[in-house]
Amino acid sequence: MAEPDPAARAAELRTLLHHHAHRYYVLDAPEIPDAEYDRLLTELQALEAAFPELLTPDSPTQRVVGQVLPGFAPVRHAVPMLSIRTETDTTPAGAYKFDASVRKAAQLTGDVPPVAYNAELKFDGLAINLRYVQGVLAQAATRGDGETGEDVTQNIRTINQIPLRLQGAAPEVLEVRGEVYMRRDDFERLNERQRETGQKTYINPRNTAAGAVRQLDPAITAKRPLSFFAYGLGEIRGWDQPSTHSATLDALAKLGIPVCADRAVVLGADGLIDFHAAMGAKRDALPFDIDGVVYKVNDVALQERLGFLTHQPRWAVAHKYPAQEQVTRLNAIDIQVGRTGKLTPVAKLEPVFVGGTTVSNATLHNVFELRRKGVRVGDTVIVRRAGDVIPEVVGRVGSGARAPYVPNFRMPPACPVCGSTVLRERGGIDHRCSGGLFCAAQRKQALLHFAGRRAMDIEGLGDKLVDQLGDGGLIRTLPELYTLATDERRARLSALERMADKSAARLLAGLEKSKTTTLARFLYALGIRHVGETTAKDLARHFGNIHRLMAASVEQLLEVNDVGPVVAQSIRTFFEQPHNVEVVEQLRAAGITWPEHDGDAPDKGPQPLAGKTLVLTGTLPTLTRDEAKALVEAAGGKVAGSVSKKTSYVVAGDEAGSKLDKARELGVTVLDETGLRGLLDGGS
């Protein structure tokens, strides 16, 4: 076969990658796995490296390009980016007022039918102008003062939702105007990462999105999860604009530009009021922040007739909703214990109406963030509530520095729910209750983890049933699971809502079966912090006996393979809590058993993989991931989740992804399933 033409293949790859990026980022309907997309992108990168002349401005490889800028160059807008008037009257009167002004300016008498409007959302982000020349993104600029903005092309290229090339026929020039914003879930994940690394958190999605776009280093912007919606046009050349605004947005969507689906063509003031109310009711369920809706005369010709009043169009208005940030007093700080044992300081507030509801409690996340914000009991603070996001205190009122800042709140030394010791690991930011098996706040999580497939594997005990058992007063502690078989408790079990006799029998059979287990599974099931499956197996292999493990000192625990100071201290603290030891003894008394040995000296059989670390990736022909892992561990090897220089082998099956690439990069030996079986049989 003839070698494929590099230029043709590069063009084909660009088309494929643009198509699949649009399916993934805009339509949320991917057609191929991430690994296949990565493979196509890698192939294009290799082609462009071998043939630099094939590199084009719209190549998907150019999402993050350019050097750190000394500043932003000014951009003169070909068509001014004007703001629209804001109607702050959040009642229906605001819509009536706008409709009346349109009818008056257009000289529409009372017998003329209602005006058709396109009603859409008012996104809370940063306005951007995208300039496409011959279908390729040539420039992106901020609104600025409406006449002149800033060139932020490098940063806008990092937003995957924004196409670098338009789909279909390419206009000579098409300027698309819209909003760069940040989804609430992306914002929460970003702040959670900031908290985990001890860095400052961001106040709200709007400011965070705006700050990301104006970064001088596009690599920093690329780390911020930004999104985009189009809502209008700037300069147009060589493109027939549809006759209505709604059809214009439809046409932009066909070109591959993200357009929000929450919009409607409505008639007259009554239609505007209905849309405002419907979106207000839906506001909390939206994945992004809005602070109102926007009404625009739908007919483009009528827009032109109406024209502008100073620097604002007569044919559009923003109709606001109640603010999502308010000011109130911080009266006290309580502690909430989460289902994983994390202690969170909670602000007790003077009740305030914010984001459509009355808020009296708000999270402060952790004591370090509280101190970074300089918040004290008695302060006047800013509270934010957006959608279904938990209300939070974002700062205190007053820009002046308070010197010195002296906090008047301390984290408690004991859990307020169960009295167990509260710990914070060295270098960590979260305080945690150490009474996982005993603490009522952690009961559900402890039960679900204990019953998990890789732990005690209790068939029939799932999420809903755990809730029913707790709410029905049948289960308060883990050992009480094994008392459900008594006549009285079995009758109460069957009486639970929707609990059929067959389901109850299946659960009781699962409980009985789980009594015969292994020490490793039991240790993992206890939910000791930092003790995963592998560490549990190492502990079981080393000590061989639960009582020896419970009595082990930190120094003795450090002798176990791959157990470091943090893990050792976590295990020691767990077994120092008398109620945790009591739960272990009660579970043993309930009949849970496993084979025991003298520690580090069981008959392990052949260990051909002793001291070796393997990574599994992809789908193997005959072995599941769990089966392959069990075989490796039985042969003395370890299975790791990521590839490093310490990895001995990578076992790759079908659709192996980035781990396979990493192995090749580091020169790690790659095996298939046959090669793995050869190792297990004693090969090298």
Per-residue pLDDT band at 356 (split at 50, 70, 90): low
Give the contacts of 150 (CB within 8 A, at least 6 positions apart): 72, 73, 74, 75, 141, 142, 144, 214
Task: Give the three-class secondary structure for 457.
Answer: coil
Closest to 125 (Cα-Cα) out of 200, 65, 187: 187
- Tens digit of each residue's pLDDT (9 = 90 or more) over 264-275: 999 999 999 999
Architecture per CATH, 519-589: Orthogonal Bundle (1.10)
- Tens digit of each residue's pLDDT (9 = 90 or more) over 575-624: 988 888 999 999 999 999 998 776 654 545 677 888 889 999 888 888 88
Instruction: Identify the pLDDT of residue 179.
Output: 94
pLDDT of 110 strictly over 90: no
Preceding peptide of 313 cis, ω within 30°: no
Per-residue pLDDT band at 377 (split at 50, 70, 90): very high
Identify the helix (H) or strand (E) that includes residue 670.
strand 669-671
Please, which residues bridge with residue 414 across strands?
421
Instruction: Identify the pLDDT of residue 658.
Output: 82
Per-residue pLDDT band at 333 (split at 50, 70, 90): very high
- Tens digit of each residue's pLDDT (9 = 90 or more) over 220-242: 888 889 999 999 999 999 999 99
Distance, in Å, from the CA atom of 180 to the CA atom of 440, rounded to the nearest integer, reads 44
Question: With the C-alpha atoms ordered 257, 260, 264, 265, is the resulting torsion angle positive or negative?
Answer: negative
pLDDT of 520 strictly over 90: yes
Instruction: Identify the pLDDT of residue 598.
Output: 62
Instruction: Identify the pLDDT of residue 600.
Output: 57
Mean pLDDT of 617-641: 84
- Tens digit of each residue's pLDDT (9 = 90 or more) over 195-221: 777 777 887 788 889 888 888 888 888
Distance, in Å, from the CA atom of 108 to the CA atom of 281, rounded to the nearest integer, reads 32
Identify which has the larger pLDDT, 155 or 630.
Answer: 155
- Cα separations in angstroms, 617 against 186, 428, 643, 660, 673: 28, 31, 10, 7, 11
Per DSSP, 409 falls in state -
Instruction: Identify the pLDDT of residue 25.
Output: 66
For residue 159 the two structure tokens come to 């937003």
For residue 247 the two structure tokens come to 């059809």
Count of helix runs (H) and strand runs (E) in the chain: 24, 24
Q: What are phi and psi of 344, to 5 degrees?
A: -120, 125
Task: Give the three-class secondary structure for 383.
Answer: strand
Q: What string of DSSP letters covers 473-509? A: TS-SSGGGGGGTTSHHHHHHHHTSTT--HHHHHHHHH
pLDDT of 359 strictly over 80: yes
Identify which has the larger pLDDT, 117 or 363.
Answer: 117
pLDDT of 258 strictly over 80: yes
Instruction: Identify the pLDDT of residue 5.
Output: 85
Per-residue pLDDT band at 87 (split at 50, 70, 90): confident
Mean pLDDT of 545-554: 92
In this structure, are strands 325-337 and 342-354 parallel, antiparallel, or unpaired? antiparallel
Closest to 240 (Cα-Cα) out of 256, 254, 251, 253: 251
Instruction: Identify the pLDDT of residue 610.
Output: 81
Dihedral angle of Cα 447, 453, 458, 463, to the nearest 10 degrees:
50
Residues in the chain: 684
pLDDT of 64 strictly over 80: no
Indicate the domain borders of the chain: 6-62, 91-320, 330-429, 457-514, 519-589, 613-680
Per-residue pLDDT band at 343 (split at 50, 70, 90): very high
Instruction: Identify the pLDDT of residue 337.
Output: 92
Name the percent of the chain lying above pLDDT 90.
Answer: 38
Identical fold for domains 457-514 and 519-589, yes or no, is yes
pLDDT of 400 strictly over 60: no
Which of 12-21, 22-31, 350-359 is the least confident region? 22-31
Identify the helix (H) or strand (E) that includes residue 221.
helix 218-222
Fold of 6-62: Helix Hairpins (1.10.287)
Identify which has the larger pLDDT, 77 or 501.
Answer: 77
Distance, in Å, from the CA atom of 595 to the CA atom of 470, rounded to the nearest integer, reads 32
Mean pLDDT of the chain: 86
Distance, in Å, from the CA atom of 511 to the CA atom of 461, rounded to the nearest integer, reads 9
Would you say domain 457-514 falls under CATH 3.40.30.10?
A: no
Measure the CA angle with vertex 648, ends 643 and 652; round to 5°.
Answer: 60
Give the contacts of 623 (CB within 8 A, at least 6 positions apart): 631, 673
For residue 451 the two structure tokens come to 């019953």
Mean pLDDT of 439-452: 88
Distance, in Å, from the CA atom of 360 to the CA atom of 457, rounded to the nearest integer, reads 42
Answer for the pair 233, 241: CB distance below 8 angstroms, yes or no: yes
- The residue assigned the tokens 């060139």 is 151
Q: How many CA atoms lie within 13 A of 320 on its CB side?
A: 11
Q: What are phi and psi of 46, to 5 degrees?
A: -65, -40
Give the contacts of 528 (CB within 8 A, at least 6 positions apart): 436, 570, 571, 574
pLDDT of 367 strictly over 80: yes
Which of 59-63, 82-86, 178-182 is the least confident region? 59-63
Give the contacts of 284 (CB within 8 A, at least 6 positions apart): 355, 356, 387, 388
Per-residue pLDDT band at 58 (split at 50, 70, 90): confident
Fold of 330-429: OB fold (Dihydrolipoamide Acetyltransferase, E2P) (2.40.50)
Question: For the stretch 125-149, what's the b/e string if a residue is b when 16 or more beta carbons lie within 10 angstroms of its beta carbon?
Answer: bbbbbbbbbebebebbbbbbeeeeb
Answer for the pair 628, 675: CB distance below 8 angstroms, yes or no: no
pTM of the predicted structure, to 2 decimals: 0.55
In this structure, are strands 325-337 and 380-384 parallel, antiparallel, or unpaired? antiparallel
CATH class of 91-320: alpha beta
Which residues form the catalytic set?
122
Give the contacts of 163 (CB within 8 A, at least 6 positions apart): 18, 21, 22, 137, 255, 256, 257
Q: Of the ranges 400-404, 440-444, 452-456, 607-611, which is most confident? A: 452-456
Q: Is 615 left (phi over 0), alpha (psi -120 to 50) or beta?
A: beta
Answer for the pair 452, 613: CB distance below 8 angstroms, yes or no: no
pLDDT of 259 strictly over 90: yes
- Cα separations in angstroms, 51 against 4, 6, 517: 14, 8, 60
Architecture per CATH, 613-680: 3-Layer(aba) Sandwich (3.40)
pLDDT of 65 strictly over 70: no
- Tens digit of each residue's pLDDT (9 = 90 or more) over 292-302: 999 999 999 99
Instruction: Identify the pLDDT of residue 402.
Output: 59
295 alpha carbon, distance to own chain's centre? 32
Distance, in Å, from the CA atom of 263 to the CA atom of 119, rounded to the nearest integer, reads 6
Identify the helix (H) or strand (E) that includes residue 630.
helix 625-634
- Tens digit of each residue's pLDDT (9 = 90 or more) over 379-398: 999 888 765 567 888 888 87
